A and B are shown apart, each in its own frame.
Chain A
């Protein structure tokens, strides 16, 4: 397997010298590419190197660094290797190239990322709404979206009873036991 991995890394390095690779144990390879090479490198992996299966497209919100990271996970049924391809986009103006002409199913992932993270894909042909219906707030999967305060503003809230007791403390008071250390942070 190591030979296959080295061969693949050498192949990709020869075509795209700027690529940054990171080795992981097992059958996993990890590359970080620039946004402008994304479509050509995905086409190269699919057409020439046999990575025909798109397993997943994931998105990570790096709030502190001000960037989104979009991760394409590819699989080769012949070489039995997984390739993770990472692309970073700016968080303020997230625009990505559209890849659904390479894999048609990428369209669904892109629609979901557009709705949940607000990433725009150039030339994506799909209806505006995907899962959320009549959504008015900011994209909900961004880390700076506060779900609790949004829910309290949008939906009705039923206040709890005034005579409600803390269950954990009440049980301890009755059975005269100590709260274990790991449980202290959960009580009021």
Chain B
């Protein structure tokens, strides 16, 4: 009965509906974008009405919010944080720096295109994006989750070799544990 295709579909719909309304965010404040998170979370824009709230540790979080530029040093920590997170997990790239480098396009120590290293589900552009844009980004993520299209984690598992190759170009001394989700 459970292995039936139609039953699985129904379970997926219910699961996705539940996941959509409970997004726990690990705000990884890598850059200046972290300053837009307090106004988004507090009473004026009140992201909690959408079910968006902060999580204390990577293992409790659903969404990794990468706010701003990533230096080669921070990338190592972000990869480690992302791999510790448990399914379902999503990544939001926040600000121009994660999209094409932004104002750090010529920096010797800042990566430019985040989705070569981690699977990004939603990008929010702007330098900085205002809280309205952040909420719109979360709305988009909710739509994707409800439609079952936010499959970044699945993509990451399937193409792990490709992601690892890109990551090891930046991090030559790879001394990280392997997580077997």
User: Residues of A with Cβ closer than 8 Å to B?
Assistant: 132-134, 136-137, 140, 145, 147-148, 150-151, 154-158, 160
| Alpha-carbon gap, A107 to B129, bound state (A) | 41
CB <8 Å contact, A132 and B109: yes
The residue that A134 contacts in the complex, of B106, B111, B172, with Cβ under 8 A, is B172
Q: Is B105 part of the binding interface, using a Cβ–Cβ cutoff of 8 Å?
A: yes
Contacts of B173 in A (CB 8 A): 134
Q: Which chain A residues lie closer than 8 Å to B72 at the CB level?
A: 133-134
User: Is the beta-carbon distance between B112 and A157 smaller than 8 angstroms?
Assistant: yes
Whether, in the assembled complex, B127 has its beta carbon less than 8 Å from a beta carbon of chain A, the answer is no
Is A158 in contact with B106, judged by CB distance below 8 angstroms?
A: no
Q: Report if A147-B108 is in contact (Cβ < 8 Å); known contacts: A136-B172, A155-B113, A157-B113.
A: yes
**Cβ of A141 to closest chain B Cβ, rounded Å:** 10
In the complex, which residue of chain A has the Cβ closest to the Cβ of B171? Answer: A134
A148 and B107 CA atoms in complex are apart in Å by 7
Closest to A141 in B: B108
User: Total contacts A to B, CB within 8 angstroms?
Assistant: 52
For B116, the chain A residues whose CB sits under 8 A away are 156
- Given A156-B111, A158-B99, 19 more pairs with CB closer than 8 A: A132-B73, A134-B171, A136-B172, A137-B108, A140-B108, A151-B105, A151-B107, A151-B108, A154-B108, A154-B170, A155-B110, A155-B111, A155-B112, A155-B170, A156-B112, A156-B113, A157-B100, A157-B112, A160-B100
Size bin of chain B's contact surface: 20 to 34
Chain B residue with Cβ nearest A150? B108
The 9 closest A-B pairs by CB, nearest first: A148-B106, A156-B113, A158-B100, A147-B108, A133-B73, A156-B116, A155-B112, A158-B113, A140-B108
CB < 8 Å neighbour of B112 from A140, A145, A158, A160: A158
Query: For residue B109, which residues in chain A have a CB less than 8 angstroms away from its CB?
Result: 132, 140
Within 8 Å of chain A (Cβ to Cβ): is B76?
Answer: yes
Can you list 24 A-B pairs, Cβ within 8 angstroms, ordered by A?
Answer: A132-B109, A133-B72, A133-B73, A134-B72, A140-B108, A140-B109, A147-B106, A148-B105, A148-B106, A151-B105, A151-B107, A151-B108, A151-B110, A154-B108, A155-B111, A155-B113, A155-B170, A156-B112, A156-B116, A157-B100, A157-B101, A158-B101, A158-B112, A158-B113
